[in-house]
A and B are shown apart, each in its own frame.
Chain A
Amino acid sequence: MEPEQPSPDTEHESLPEETHLPSPTLYPIGFAIGIVVLLVGLIINPLLISSIGAAIAIVFAILWAREATAELRGEPVVVEPERRESRATAADPHGVTLEEVPDNAVTRSVFLEGATLGLGAAIGGLITLPVAGFAVLPGFLGQTQHKVDLGPIEKFPLGKWFISTFIVDPAEGEVSRRTVFLRNNGNVADPETKQQVPSFTIISNRCVHLGCPVQANGPIGQKYTGTASFKEHTLNGPVEFQSVIPAGYGCPCHGGQYDPEGNRIAGPPVRALDRYDFEINHGRLVLLSTYSVSKVVGTGGQAQIYKYKDVGPGEHVDGPEQFFYPINPPHH
């Protein structure tokens, strides 16, 4: 290697080492002792001992400050050079003995490099994995189904539509308020058991385009429908039932239109409106979870519906587009 022009950096490094060493000083210790005496004095004798402590602290603070600013004030700085034992000998001027190492040897540095990387990765993984899991998993696991009590079924006149709003999860509050369009279809023969069972049409107002709230197109309230609106106090709090004669449902966001059974008749929605499963518990109507519907054939209790698993708005449940959504997140 040729001797080069000294670059600025090497010039910097080659300064005598002592200029970089802070000169050892005892003044901070004296200052600290002064503060300790002052604090102890506050307990023992605030007037005398604390004053002595304060005086010590001030004197040492001044000495310390004078010494620290010596360079700034242009006074010569006295520093002790660093001393270090030299291992250099005549045969080995750098004090380092070099040994021949085979190429494939695991030297200490190779081992330490691997150990550092491996341990770092292990620690990083141990921290990252649970945290990432906590960020993602709660939204997918433990999603609980909430049953919604809508009151006794005799309250619902046969064949009349109502708009009902209720809170799904009282613990979560107003943000879980949902709306359904609901009609009592009377007793209908169960296709499997041939027994007469109560039938309700319960349509979710969540638009299956992108999730806006669809509105009933038609007169609302007793004055226009001839059917009384009413309120029920249930386990889920107060539930309102407004009578309505829907000619269909319309979405305010992007103009999707549905017929009274929830079939899409115009606009961007991709299927019929979702419906709620229900059960009759001690004569009361209880809503369960929703299911998705592609198309409703027939009306009321005679309607034929194929229940699809509940999926998000905009997702096709049948036709070739269903293959775009092969696996849906876990649902309640």
Chain B
Amino acid sequence: MATTYRRKPTKAEIRRQKMEELVMFPIDWLEERSGLIGGLKYFLFRNVPSDINWMQTLGSAALTAFLVQAITGVILAMYYVPSADINPRTGKPIAWESIVNITDHLTLGWLVRGMHRWGASVFIILMFLHMGRVFLFGAYKYPRELNWIIGVLILVNGMMEGFTGYLLPWDQTAYWATVVGINLNGTAPFLGPWLAQFLRGGQEISGETLTRFYSLHMLLIPGLIIGLITLHLYLVVRLGVTSPPWSKEAAGGEPEEEDGARLRPGLTRPVPRPSGASAMQAEPGGQE
């Protein structure tokens, strides 16, 4: 960050400049080797229509809700035990006891479990609101159809998270709700009985169903959702944000590019240009 001074810089200014250089050094180091800072800046400071409104924050809100679920879920997994066995000392199932332990005995366990339990509903509700906004704004139309499809897949995966997570407390509600849910799947024509048996991991709900649902709930489905969210965001950045339907802005308009020196995005100081470079560039077919 070379600043030009007309007068001799004061000591404070020199110190400030040194501090800036110290801060920028690792950032520039990373950017020069990875381009990650430029990518982040491109993502955060990209242009969006000037007349977007608060409705268009619902997607980010749903993403935030998912991140809350991911973080609280990772912490809950440190204390939860997915075992249908009976604890011989207490006569209660171990999975259920570990939930009671989280809720009643561990410091702040009630809070984190509550965040996960209520956040699940928040995530689903926000996804539906986001979906409604996209529908009402017509944001699913060309060229964004694929992003609608990916969004629907995220919604389906989110609901599977709800279904598999509901069994984990291993109480009467959890057990019978899952019995009904799996048998509901089982009544689907042709493949239904096979799907139900796959979900149960056998003919009857057992301890294997619990561990299976736990694995699906915390490993497989979250992985799928993270992958789908990445694709979803990639398409959002690539295709841009839609204007509201009442927008007066012309569709498809691109802001005029400013002329002048183009810095690589993210680089905070210009890359020094060696004297021999222009000769190499001029050679026809030499570089490209």
Contact = CB atoms under 8 A, between A and B. Distances in A.
Whether A associates with B in a native complex is yes
A311 B193 contact: yes
B197 A139 contact: yes
A211 B183 contact: yes
Given A136-B198, A138-B201, A143-B203, A3 B281 contact: yes
For chain B, the bracket of interface size reads: 35 or more
B264 A9 contact: yes
Interface string A8-25: 111111111000000000
Interface stretch (A57-65, A273-281, A320-328): A320-328
A311 B197 CA distance: 11
A312 B186 contact: yes
Interface string A199-228: 000000000001111000000000000000
Interface string A87-116: 000000000000000000000000000000
Given A176-B204, A176-B206, A313-B186, A11 B271 contact: yes
Interface in A64-102: 72
Nearest to A289: B203
Nearest to A175: B84
A213 B175 CA distance: 12
Contacts of B206: 172, 175-176
B273 interface: yes
B86 A174 contact: yes
B285 A1 contact: yes
For chain A, the bracket of interface size reads: 35 or more
Given A312-B186, A324-B189, A329-B194, A143 B281 contact: no
Contact of B203 (A16, A175, A331): A331
B263 A328 contact: no
27 contacts: A1-B285, A4-B281, A6-B281, A12-B271, A13-B287, A14-B274, A14-B277, A15-B274, A16-B276, A139-B202, A139-B208, A143-B203, A172-B206, A172-B207, A173-B207, A174-B86, A175-B84, A176-B204, A211-B179, A211-B182, A212-B179, A212-B180, A253-B176, A312-B186, A314-B187, A324-B190, A325-B193
Interface of B: 22, 25, 84-86, 93, 176, 179-180, 182-184, 186-187, 189-190, 192-194, 196-198, 200-208, 262-264, 271-274, 276-278, 280-285, 287-288
